[in-house]
Amino acid sequence: MDPVIAAVNVRGKHQERGGTVLSFVPISMEDFVKKYVASNPGSKPAEVRERLKAALKDFNAGVPCRCGNPIWVIGSAEVGRACFTCITGEAMPDRDYEIREACIK
């Protein structure tokens, strides 16, 4: 194999395995709560915010998904602590939101 292609492949795999997912769209918690409540009319902003804060706290504490990847805060607030892939079944986020604080790390 062409050494350049091999290097690119290795780097790609490394990024995947490290779980550093960069294709999330960062959003502030307040903006996400507004969006969430708008698309889920029965939900209470205070409860949504509390669930997100709890998930973000676990993220910051380094609580991993069962597969070892960092958790996806927005998804974890809804369905329990898990990474994007385990929650959605998709390999990579595609314009999915993540709380800004969880994107910085």
- Rule CB under 5 A: which residues touch Zn ion? 65, 67, 69, 83, 86
Q: Please identify, using beta-carbon distances, which residue of 41 and 105 lies nearer to Zn ion.
A: 105
33: left (phi over 0), alpha (psi -120 to 50) or beta: alpha
Taking the complex as a whole, the smallest distance from the CB of residue 67 to Zn ion amounts, in Å, to 3
Give the whole-angstrom CA distance, residue 71 versus residue 49. 17
Task: Give 1 or 105: the residue with its C-beta nearer to Zn ion.
Answer: 105
- Residue recorded with tokens 């329990």: 80
* 29 versus 86: smaller Cβ distance to Zn ion: 86
Closest CB 38 distance from Zn ion, rounded Å = 28
**Cβ atoms within 10 Å, residue 103:** 15
CB of 53 to Zn ion, least distance (A): 21
**Which residue's structure tokens are 């709890």?**
54
